Amino acid sequence: MTDRPILFSGPMVRALLAGTKTQTRRVLSAPKWSTGLADMELCDDGIDAIARISGCFAKVNLGFAVGDRLYVREAWRSHAAYDDISPAAMGGDEAILYVADDAHQTWGYPAITKLGRFRQGMHMPRWASRLTLAVSEVRVQRLQDIGEEDAIAEGCAPLGSEFLIPGQYLYSDPSKPRTAISATSAYESLWNQINEARGYGWDANPWIVAVSFTVEHRNIDEARP
C-alpha cells in the first residue's frame, strides 16, 4: 500500500467532485530494455514485457495496487505574496484556490485577497490536496477493451442525446463534426484529446492499467491541525 500523487485535469477534477468519475486509465510503461508497449503479454499471474531480440521477459510494475491511496494534484493558485516562493518552501498553511472550480481552502484563515500566479498541478504539495482516491480494483487490458459501463465510470455520463464532460466540453473528435453516440465513443474522443499527441492514441490501442477507486473529500472550510 502506498500514498502517492496522481495528476488530473480540471474537467476530470470536476467529475471527481461530482461523483461521476470512479475510474481512471493510464498507459502501462514498458521496461526500458523492452522494445515498446506492443511487446506485452497478459498472463494468469500478471503482465509480461518481452524483448523481441533476446526473448527475455519480466513482470511489469503496474504502479497501482488495491489499498493504495492516491492524493489528487490539480492546478492551483495561492496569494500573490507567495509568487516567488516554491511550493516546497511554503509552510503548509497558505490559502489555496483550486482552479478547476474556484473553490478556496483557507485553513480557517482569511480568504485570498490578491490572487497569485497559476501553478501547475504537478507542483501541488501533499498538504494542499483536497481529494484522495482509495484504490479498490486494478486491471490490465488493452485500451479498446473498455465497455459502456467502464466508460461511464470514467466520467462519460449521458446528458440527453449528447455526452458532456464537466465544464460543458463536448466529447467529440475535433476532426469529425459529430457528437459521441455512446459513452465508449465519448471516451475515445476524450482519450485522444489527452494522449494522441503523445503517441498513445485510441487507434494505437496501448496496454493500460484501469484503476477503480472511491473518492474521499476533505472539508475545504476546516482549519489545518
CB 140 within 8 A of CB 47: yes
User: Rounded distance, CA 3 to CA 6, Å?
Assistant: 10
The dihedral built from the CA positions of residue 85, 88, 92 and 98, taken in this order, carries a sign that is positive
pLDDT greater than 90 at residue 132: yes
Terminal Cα-to-Cα distance of the chain (whole angstroms): 25
Planar angle of CA 156, 160, 166, nearest 5 degrees: 40
CB 40 within 8 A of CB 49: yes
User: Rounded distance, CA 66 to CA 73, Å?
Assistant: 20
Cell representation of residue 200? 498513445
Within the chain, how many helices (H) and strands (E) appear?
A: 3, 14
The least confident of 54-63, 112-121, 187-196, 197-206 is 54-63
Count Cα atoms within 13 angstroms, Cβ side, for 62.
21
User: Rounded distance, CA 152 to CA 187, Å?
Assistant: 8
* pLDDT for residue 92: 84
Q: How confident is the model at residue 167 (pLDDT cuts 50, 70, 90)?
A: very low
* pLDDT for residue 15: 87
Taking alpha carbons only, the member of 124, 131, 141, 127 closest to residue 213 is 131
Mean pLDDT within 142-165: 77
Report the phi/psi class of residue 6: left, alpha or beta, with left for phi > 0 and alpha for psi in -120 to 50: beta
Express each pLDDT in 1-16 by its tens digit: 688 999 999 888 988 9
* pLDDT for residue 175: 47
* pLDDT for residue 145: 95
- Give the domain ranges of the chain: 3-23+62-70+132-216, 75-126
pLDDT greater than 80 at residue 48: no
